[in-house]
Amino acid sequence: MNALADLGAVAAAAGLMAGGYAYAANWPTSQIFGRTLIAGPNDTGSTHAVALTYDDGPSPRNTPALLDLLAEHNVTATFFLIGEHVRKHPELARRVAAAGHVIGNHTSMHPNLAKKNKARVREELTRCQQTIEDTIGVKPVLFRPPYGARTRSVLRTARVLGLTPVMWNVTAHDWDPIGVPAILSRIDKGMAYNRSRGKASNILLHDASHLDGAEPASRADTITVTRTLLQRPALRFTTPLEWLGT
Ligand SMILES: [Zn+2]
């Protein structure tokens, strides 16, 4: 273990003792809890490479409009689907895949995996994987932990199942009722920071809520923000698959 890793372990231990566990576990770019894929290098030209990633879907309230919008701009995005929502909306899940988007595993029931035992973690990942394979006919290779909550054990289990854990480096907070300008401001700040460090941006967005029941949450702001981003000529849209191995 090198000095930096030691420092990380000390910081993690201090965080645990100080009750900072949730922060450390959810800090999206932290590698303290194991290696995750975040983003590759930025483009060498004037464009900024951006992955639009949507969690918690599919949602009959939002996903169709989002798919139409992405299709208008011929952009491929990434959807981390919840198994339970795929089981409820199989046709919609198939539509997401048929449009050419990358399908990722976001667990079967969206628990905080850092608080579950190994058997439950494995069940959450395999059940979501099976649902997606049976319903959509694709086998995901990417996995995003709910709430970004992870441990070394969770990440190891994912890798054993052939899944690369994917975090993000721009938190849009589009699940908070903060409005379009505030969401865009967060995204712009995040992208500027990543660009200044020669990094691409991996933006966390939501086309659904993990709490969706009979009355699915509206993600109208997410769709408006997406439309704004798609109209920016300086952005090049990609997916985390491009960054595998970087
Ligand atoms: Zn989620």
Condensed to tens digits (0 to 9), the pLDDT of residues 173-182 reads 999 999 999 9
For residue 156, the model assigns a pLDDT of 97
Q: What is the pLDDT of residues 170-207, one digit of tens each?
A: 999 999 999 999 999 999 999 999 999 999 999 999 99
How far, in Å, from the CA of 2 to the mean position of ligand 1?
Answer: 33
127 touches 103 (CB < 8 A): no
How far, in Å, from the CA of 199 to the mean position of ligand 1?
Answer: 24
Q: Is the pLDDT of residue 134 over 80?
A: yes
For residue 34, the model assigns a pLDDT of 86
Please, which pLDDT band fits residue 16 given cuts at 50, 70 and 90?
Answer: very low
**From CA 53, how far away is CA 48, in angstroms rounded?**
16
* Amino acid symbol at 76: T
How far, in Å, from the CA of 147 to the mean position of ligand 1?
Answer: 6
Please, which pLDDT band fits residue 27 given cuts at 50, 70 and 90?
Answer: confident
Residue 229 Cα to chain centre, angstroms = 17
Please, which pLDDT band fits residue 214 given cuts at 50, 70 and 90?
Answer: confident
Q: Which residue has the higher pLDDT, 16 or 233?
A: 233
Average pLDDT of the segment spanning 231-237:
97
How far, in Å, from the CA of 190 to the mean position of ligand 1?
Answer: 20
Q: What residues are labeled active site? A: 55, 206
- Residue 27 phi/psi, 5° resolution? -55, 110
Average pLDDT of the segment spanning 68-97:
98
Please, which pLDDT band fits residue 242 given cuts at 50, 70 and 90?
Answer: very high
How far, in Å, from the CA of 144 to the mean position of ligand 1?
Answer: 8
120 touches 111 (CB < 8 A): yes
Joined together, the tokens standing for residue 222 give 């997410």
**Which residues lie at CB < 5 A from ion ligand 1?**
55-56, 146, 210
